[in-house]
Structure 1
Amino acid sequence: MYSLIIIAALFGLLWGSFLNVVIYRLPRMQISGIVRRGKPLAFLALPLSYCPHCEEGIKPYHNVPLISFLLLLGRAKCCGAPISIRYPLVEASGALIAAGSLAHFGWNLDALLAGIFLSILLVAAVIDLQRYYLLDTLTLPLLWLGLLVNIDSRFTSLEEAVLGATGGYLLMFGLAAAASFMLKKTAMGGGDFKLMAALGAWLGWETLFVLLFLAALFGLLLAGMRYLARGRAHRIPFGPALALAGAVMLFWGDKMILTYLSYIGG
């Protein structure tokens, strides 16, 4: 089993490299109208990788996940521009997703589906961190896929998935409405509603309150980190906190719920 996990981690590095491409190109597809015009998603694969600074093509031996970043000391070989730390972090996250899904669920379809779920969350979270919005091209397919995979009660029953999707959306909508009323300004975007609905579709309605509690904690942590890094944290995307909470609940949902209930019940 350990050898399979190592192989999965190595594959995950390559998968994480592709996710970096999706993170970079998918918002540009949205802005340029490629998605809206129904153009093929080959735009994600072509052209081959190029430097975002000077747009020179990246040689394959300069594009090895993690290793190239370390050997190049975090700078592009073509122009010497700094390489964003996002690239190795996403590659490492891809390895963690692949290895963690296999270790937790075993060699089966559940592990593959968990990897897809976590990969979409990762892409959505990083884009939200960079651009302050969640793409419908990620949240809505994630929502429908969650309902589809739970037809046979794979992660939760279909009834709980439907209630989770509905309840997740309404819960976030209600919180956003209340916060906007108190703050006299928009407190949360509609993408957060859809992402919460997608998480409910995958994990079921019983996870929603614990998931939201965890997301609030992660959101506060993110705000603190941004304040320390920038001296201000006036605009904090909530998508990454929701995504991280969803990942935690996927692996340890039952334990988190029992811990939460035992805490509030004394």
Structure 2
Amino acid sequence: MVIQADPCVLRGVPEFFETTLGECLQARTESLTTFRELGPPDLCHVVKTNPKSTISQIGSYHFVLGVDASSSATFSAYLNSLTYMLGLAGGKANPWKITGGTYCCFNAFSRVDLRVDIKIPGGVEAYVIDLRGDKHEITNTAAIWQETYVSAVLRAIHDDQMEEGVEPLLGLRKLDPLPTIKLEKRFLEAAAAEYFKGWQLGSKSEVQVPTVSSNHLVDGILKYFTNAGRLHDASAFFSTLFVEDPEVGAVLAQTYLGSGIS
């Protein structure tokens, strides 16, 4: 027996369906004051329409780690990629179409939720929601996007969903945040630019007060290169920052010891 999948469901994406359109966005806005340190995974809200259905418009959402958060264009590209995950309906063209959505990504430096409303076809609006739930235009555009980008990559690197004792987040889709050397280089350049603000992100629980050499940005870079078996590259990264601030020497020493550099 062949079971026909619901044509409005995205294949391979663990999504939830809304009772009221946009309720997940409202819930995220109301919970912004509870966001701590790096914040939660990104939220992708998807609007699907089918003029032939008794319910012509539905909303669904899922959580994401690893999407390129460097611009509104990359968020638009992600939402567009979901259109290819709507399967056929009984072997025929799917009457359901993705006509829009909202991508939410928490900027852990400025403590705002950067959101991009996307209409398909055409139409993109980027803005931020502060912790009080108020909407603002993005003024210092380059700085806000760079902070958001670094925040998103660090969240993906620090993801502990597979660790023992951690309750997995339902509806979470995980992607590789740095799938190429080119993207890795871009992230390291952005991380270096934000490095001396890293203490604003907080630190692991055993560190009482985050510092330049002990915070989630530092730990994320160390974790990334440690997992890749490339602590010598971490040494190269921190060496350039050591020139600017001797306090970075504490982190640099860790990379030397771990990589066997003498």
TM-score by length of 1: 0.28
